[in-house]
Structure 1
Amino acid sequence: MSNLNENISKSTCQFCQSNFKQDVEIIICPQCSSLYHKECWIENSGCGVYGCNYKIKVDNAETLSIEEIKINIEYLINENKYHEAISECKKILKIDRKNSEIKKLYNTAVHLVNSKTKLIENGDISFENKDYKAAEIYYTNSFKYLDDEEKEFYKSRISIIKDKIPFERKKKIINTVLISVILLVIAGALGYGYYFYYFMEEDRAFAELEKNDSVNDIQKMEIQISKYENFLKRYKKPELLEKANDKINYFSGLIANEIYKSDWKNANKYLGKIDFVKNPVTYKELYSRILDEAKSEYKDRLNNAKKLDLQKKYEDSKNQIEDAIEIINLFPESDINADKQKLNSNLTLLNKKISSELKYSAINEEINEKSEELKKFGTVNNNLKVLNIKAKILEYSQPSTVIAKVIDSGNLVALRNPDVDLKIGEIIDFECIRNGFIEVNSTKQGLLNLPLYIPAYFHETTYNLSGLSPESESLEIRLDYLNDQKMKLDSILRMPLKF
């Protein structure tokens, strides 16, 4: 038996649950491929895995080592039983993916199966197509890959083929003679009408189309264009093809000029059917008119996008911008193509708003829940937690309340100190205590819900505050975090679209 590789040495016996040591004989369950020490296999009278009922008689214990399975695989390959060999290889590779010898045997068996299958498939196709000679060759070549039962089957098929070959040859000769006679009759008939029906066919077909050219209805003109396009696909006479193209140019110009105000996209489709080289003036005039209509719709889309964004209808706003980009794509050489990068940036912003809106709603709900919980805690003691805050004053919200940005974290807070005249842009460093939350109105970000801090000495006089219990302090910390996240999301939602 071959030595265990690293994979198996890390595996455990399903009976004693201990790792396998080097040079130990291993038994593989024939039914579920579990691994066992030989002694454990015999002691347990077979497999001990739940759901596997494979058992042995103790006095005649069936043992299958890896080396024995390998020898059996080689035997199956030599006997042309490739599928059985592949099945045995998979059992070992399932538990020992690095076993190179088994991989080689597996690859050999697969290669031989493919060779056999290809020969038999080619033989079957030839047989179905009544190419019996080719089928006989394919089946004969496949014999070296077949087992005894398969050989007997294909020998019988070859016997049938040998009976059919003479019959098919006679049948082919008779068919050839009959076809030759029929072809001679047909050739005589065709020869009579060849000139009239062949050489004049294209002219007759074109003349038939021209009969319907006197149309004023758009739908009928579209039908004429379709007919002339089909004529181009079917016929090859150069002078008629040129005339057909001229007709398509003519009708396309009429339709585009008629509908560009009501349906510029469809008009642009017909503009594409006009040959610019032959009709440069018509093409340029129509292009200019269609582009003006497209630009008008383009501006409407952008204005709608702005309005919908202000109404917080971000999905609808996004759809309007996507429609505007589609218009740009139809006119890649126009001046509106320069806006494409800006519109893509706005799409990115709207995608952020869409995702932020969902988060914003969830955060708001949790803030309300935590705020309600915090109301349940009354004053407990005077041991308030004194904090040292270093922050930059951003703006005044109320006469004695300012909005400041904490230097370390970057979070916004509200500071109240009626005794000190704080200046915008000033950096302050003072001891304070937390006094809940306050709604402040920012000139830049609108209404904000910020944590409020007051000087530490205020709790003994003006505010008469008490200390926080561990539970309320935990709620305060969570509310700090939630409000910080809410402010960040709010800043994204307030960002305007820029065109």
Structure 2
Amino acid sequence: MAEIICKVYNSELKTCEYCHSNIKLNSDVVICPRCQTPYHPDCWLENDGCAVYGCGYKTSSDDNLSDSLKPDELVEIEFLINERNYIEAINECKSRLKLDKNNVNLKRLYNKAVSHINVKTKLIEEGDNFFESGDYQNASVFYNRALRYCNEFDTSVIQSRLEIINHNIPLEIRRKRIGNALTAFIVIVMLFIGVASYYYFVMLEDEREFKKIESSENISDIMNTEIQISKYENFRQHAKDGKWRDKADEKINFMSAYLAKQLYLDDWRTAKKYLKKVNSSELQSAYREIDKRIYLEALKEFKERIKQANDYNKSGNYSESKYSIESAIEIVNHFPEDKFRGIRESLQSDVYLLKEKISQLVKYKNVIEEIREKKNDLGNIQSTKKEIYSPDETIVISGVVTGNLGRGLIAVKSTSGKQVALNTGSYNFSEGDYITLESIQEGKFKFINGGVEESIPMYIAVLPDQSMNYSALTDYERLAIQQRLAFLQSQKKYLDSLMNIKLKTH
């Protein structure tokens, strides 16, 4: 046989276009000289060239090709292949190729038998895989395709499998239907359970919790009643259903009214707190009755606080008086304006008054103490003088020196505004000095003023004996003390009036 005009070489893994099986690595490959498609050498010879549609390259057109095999021998092998006896056809080709190993027709028939047996084996393997996995529909498809390549024996085996498949397919369909129905049933049951659970645990949650609280209801004493009210209030805060919130409100109204009625004599404040929880529009008559009783108890305590405040104010205990007034304000604040009309302003005024008294109290005590001290100091200074005249004969001259009249006389303008002449003897005073001296009247001092004779009272200063070392400085000290004493007494008079102010609220 002449050599085929195409490239044959060792190459990587490719797929033969004729038999569609893989070409092993490093095996011989025939490449179509026209479209460069790879083939097994045997497949190339069997197909008499390229199998690609549109290429059409054929080896028979080569003038160098020849066929030395007789036609009747080829017919026999073709018959075996058509009868699907591929093993016998392969064996027949092998035996004849030993005699003519380059015979193209033999190789073509050999490759055709091998190709068919490979296809059959592959289809049967795929069918077996689907059969074993229980996928009978796909198994049936591959087995039916394999029948085109099977002889009588293989066909009987495949047919037995197909009979099993035809029997199992309805069962499989029925099983799938049952499975689908069961799945749907389970889904429906789960949905029903979910809806029922939602209804029970969510929709009926308020009802269950309310009935649980109601079943443990205990109002045998005040403490248990308060606990029960607290439970209903907590329930009301998170209850979603308005129906059960209203029922909780009814319970709270009833129990709060009951507690207020029980507590108002001993603790009207707590009773007032629970009365605020009562809906006055639903329990009008009970609400008004309890509210009146609470008000009367609060009024009693209010009057006691006011009496205490007035008593403490009279005794000078202003802090306690202020505390009593503030307690009275706290009582008043529990009630609306119409209950203590006009009282709030008086109470606030009394608080401001007592705050002023408290703030001035230390000052008041200090003024009294300083007055006592100044009187003592003044007595000590006076005791250092020598008593020459009776106190009934002397008067105190206080004023400013306005001039020197000569002969030991000075003109003094007294604090009363009168002009007098004062004989100070050997004591010298300068114009502008402020003096306070005990004196006795000694007639009048006459002088000419603008051609007119005038006279002013004249006094002689009573001065201590020189042996007692009494100086003018002592008179200054006494004057300062007397002035400070006068100021302190005016302060005390103001503070006395402040401390004696009565409270507005009686």
Normalising by the smaller structure, the TM-score range is: 0.3 to 0.5
Larger Rg: 2
TM-score (norm 2): 0.46
TM-score (norm 1): 0.46
